[in-house]
Amino acid sequence: MAVGPNQEQRCFVGRTLTTTMHERILNVADPRAGYLVLKGEIDAAISDVLNGPSYILGPIVERFEAEMAAYVGVSHGIGVNNGTDAIHLALRGLGIGQGDEVITVSHTAVATVAGVRMAGAEPVLVDVDPSTYTISVDAARRSITSRTKAVLAVHLYGHPADVERLAALCEEKGIHLVEDCAQAQGATCSGRMVGSFGVVSTFSFYPTKNLGAIGDAGMVLTKDEQLARRIRLLRQYGWETPQHSLIEGWNSRMDPLQAAILSVKLRHLPAQIERRRALAAKYTQALAGLPLTLPVELPNCRHAYHLFVIRVADVGTREGLREHLRDIGVNAGIHYPFPVHLQQAYSGALRVGSMEVTEAAAGTVLSLPLYPEMADADVDRVCSGVVAYFAQRP
């Protein structure tokens, strides 16, 4: 098929899609757009790093560690290579390892479970709350044993887990609350930032996150000075003095290029979250009344809308809607299609509770495009496609 000068082609599953240039392909996220809007500041920050003198850790990383800790409202930040390493080293810092259990969820990125396994501990997977898709406090309580050392709460899609109840549960049982904040930078519960409730919290700065690097990066945050010192040792061979290991450690260092970029982006994060929330409100208004479930924001919570996740009746409806949206140049995503406990690497290998909500969600959730650089017209285009799909159904 011939394509004119003002058109572009994209191929999807054996079909050729042609859209006009002003109707560009919309993806769930667009990290490049986030770079372009801050290009001048980011390029200047990168230039500062290239001029030296530190290319591993150093003062630029230390500055971002302090900025991120202050933003969340804790005392100490430890920059690491990625969010998976952050979970691993946080658990190691707490002394959690072989023979210990960590309760977490199956409805999450596999990185959550991988980080627990890297620490040598056993993940115990429980179901999620049907409204927020975050860890069920009641399910977590039922799974606590004498081997349980921590609950690892994932703040999914940008909505906080029920951290106040989880903190009370962990205090009652004498175990640690660890927060996985990879998808929730800027979310709050009762006016406090997520990441400030647990004894330790972990962050991923993967490029698509609310606060995204241009590459991999992660961080561990804590209020505990001794814990922070231990995690700093663990991230770099156990060194406090170069070339001398006080304890056995790993190599997981945030590089100053990513720290410089993230320092720039952190200054703009509050405004960008407000934009995410405005776009989410636009989605909510336009899609109200359709046969689907929209995201919720529970009382005392402030959703950071890393993702705008809807839920439909069944997998057939979801796949039909995805195909319809692809035909108009909108790539919706699925977070997540395969619960961790059903993935080949982990199937039958972990202690797993009832997964009724998790398994139902895996077949019915759909993430619509949402990022701060989207225009209102982009949301209108997505919503028109969703409305049209349901209008044509019998």
Mean pLDDT over 70-75 rounds to 98
pLDDT at 9 over 50: no
CA 301 vs CA 38, 140, 143, 297: distances in Å: 29, 20, 26, 6
Rg (CA), the chain: 22
Band of pLDDT at residue 1, cut at 50, 70 and 90: very low
pLDDT at 3 over 90: no
pLDDT value of residue 384: 98
pLDDT at 134 over 60: yes
pLDDT value of residue 209: 98
Q: Give the model confidence (pLDDT) of 15-30 as tens digits.
A: 333 344 346 899 999 9
Beta bridge partners of 60: none
**For the chain, percent of residues with pLDDT exceeding 90:** 92
pLDDT value of residue 4: 37
- Average pLDDT over the chain reads 94
Mean pLDDT over 61-74 rounds to 98
Q: How far is CA 33 from the centre of its chain?
A: 19
The answer to whether the Cα torsion of 116, 120, 121, 126 is positive or negative is positive
Distance separating alpha carbons of residues 372 and 210, to the nearest angstrom: 9
pLDDT value of residue 10: 34
pLDDT at 377 over 50: yes
pLDDT value of residue 12: 28
In the chain, DSSP finds a helix count (H) and a strand count (E) of: 12, 17
Distance separating alpha carbons of residues 232 and 242, to the nearest angstrom: 13
Band of pLDDT at residue 14, cut at 50, 70 and 90: very low
Q: Give the model confidence (pLDDT) of 230-254 as tens digits.
A: 999 999 999 999 999 999 999 999 9
CA 363 vs CA 88, 202, 315, 348, 358: distances in Å: 29, 28, 5, 20, 9
Mean pLDDT over 255-275 rounds to 98
Helix axes 256-287, 59-72, angle to 10 degrees: 30
Mean pLDDT over 367-386 rounds to 98
CA-closest candidate to residue 221, choices 232, 211, 210, 212: 232
Prediction pTM value = 0.93
pLDDT value of residue 16: 33
Band of pLDDT at residue 2, cut at 50, 70 and 90: very low
For residue 135, give the 3-state DSSP assignment: strand
- Find out whether 304 and 187 touch, Cβ atoms under 8 Å: yes
Band of pLDDT at residue 11, cut at 50, 70 and 90: very low
CA 182 vs CA 107, 193, 223, 304, 322: distances in Å: 14, 13, 18, 12, 26
Q: How far is CA 192 from the centre of its chain?
A: 18
The residue assigned the tokens 């995410």 is: 276
Band of pLDDT at residue 394, cut at 50, 70 and 90: confident
Q: List, as one string, the DSSP characters of 22-74.
A: TS--B-S--HHHHHHHTHHHHHHHHHHHHT-S-SSSSHHHHHHHHHHHHHHT-
Q: Give the model confidence (pLDDT) of 96-114 as tens digits.
A: 999 999 999 999 999 999 9
Beta bridge partners of 193: 188
Mean pLDDT over 360-373 rounds to 98
